[in-house]
Amino acid sequence: MSDREELLVGRFPFVPKQERAHQKREALLESGHKLFISKGYEQTTAKEIAADAGVATGTFYRYFSDKRQLLLSLLEDQIEKLMVPEPCWRTSDPERLIASLLEAHEQRLNEIGLHRVLPELVPKDPELAEVLMQAKRAIHERILSGLKKAYEQGLTWKDLDLETVTWSMMLLAENAHEKAKQCDEKTDYHQVAKVICRIVFPPDVIKNWQSVEFNRDNRG
């Protein structure tokens, strides 16, 4: 078990080795995942999770100390997937690439669903909040590193602070999928990608990339 797992999840009451016990634990995880998303974390009880999984409440506590441990077990392998994607600037069409990454990110969030539970839990769980912040910092550093390389190649604006650019990009990427709720309009990720690229690159750089891509498409 990694240090992060120990910090987040703690020690399990029982770690199954037999197939039948493993199946019960997986059923509890699946039921917890479903109920947390449909009802919310606070409104879901261990008893309800056990009933949905078709086991006794006592069986729940055989595998998990409480519902928090079950939720964090679900989150443990998904935290990186909940973070915004890291773009690559070594491409002839960064707008298309970023749009594709953001679309895939929204699809991934919808498939996992657990991001809807985090606003309930994070304010009351400083350990989880810190782990999420560490994951954000790691993504921030990787995006910033890529921007610095683009800067050294003369591709980015010269008068902008790259730390602030990275922070702005992450805010856009993290909140783009919320546009439908706020504006009653589906997010157009090509437009979001265009805004991000306008923040990072001067018009002549973008125009040059588009020209290269246009010529390549015509040759194809």
pLDDT in tens, 152-180: 999 999 999 999 999 999 999 998 888 76
178 with 115: CB under 8 angstroms?
no
Q: Which CATH number characterizes residue 196's domain?
A: 1.10.357
62 with 14: CB under 8 angstroms?
yes
213 shares a domain with 196? yes
141 shares a domain with 57? no
pLDDT at 215: 53
Q: Which CATH number characterizes residue 8's domain?
A: 1.10.10.60
Tell me which DSSP letter residue 86 carries.
P
120 shares a domain with 161? yes
Last residue of some domain: 76, 103, 125? 76
Question: If DSSP codes are grouped into helix, strand and coil, which group holds residue 90?
Answer: coil
pLDDT at 37: 95
Residue type, 197: C
193 shares a domain with 103? yes
210 shares a domain with 199? yes
159 shares a domain with 51? no
Domain tally, the chain: 2
Q: How far is residue 129's CA from residue 126's CA, in Å, rounded to a whole number?
A: 5
Last residue of some domain: 15, 41, 76? 76
Last residue of some domain: 58, 76, 94? 76
pLDDT tens, position by position, 74-92: 988 788 899 999 888 777 7
pLDDT at 141: 96
Tokens standing for residue 46: 């261990």
Task: Please classify residue 219 by burial: count the beta carbons closer than 10 Å to its beta carbon, then call 0-12 exposed, 13-18 middle and 19+ buried.
Answer: exposed
The b-or-e profile of 176-195 (16+ CB within 10 A means b, else e) is bbebeeeeeeebebeebbbe
pLDDT at 29: 96
CB atoms under 10 Å from CB of 203, counted, come to 8
Q: How far is residue 77's CA from residue 114's CA, in Å, rounded to a whole number?
A: 12
Lookup result for tokens 């504006």: 183
**How many Cα atoms sit within 13 Å of 194 on the Cβ side?**
7
Look up the pTM and report it: 0.81
Q: How far is residue 68's CA from residue 46's CA, in Å, rounded to a whole number?
A: 10
128 shares a domain with 72? no
101 shares a domain with 175? yes
The DSSP line for 4-28 is: HHHHHT---S----SHHHHHHHHHH
Residues of the chain with pLDDT below 50 are: 1-5, 214
100 shares a domain with 202? yes
Residue type, 148: K
127 shares a domain with 176? yes
pLDDT at 4: 47
Q: How far is residue 186's CA from residue 209's CA, in Å, rounded to a whole number?
A: 28
Instruction: Give residue 149's domain range.
Output: 79-219
92 shares a domain with 56? no
19 shares a domain with 92? no
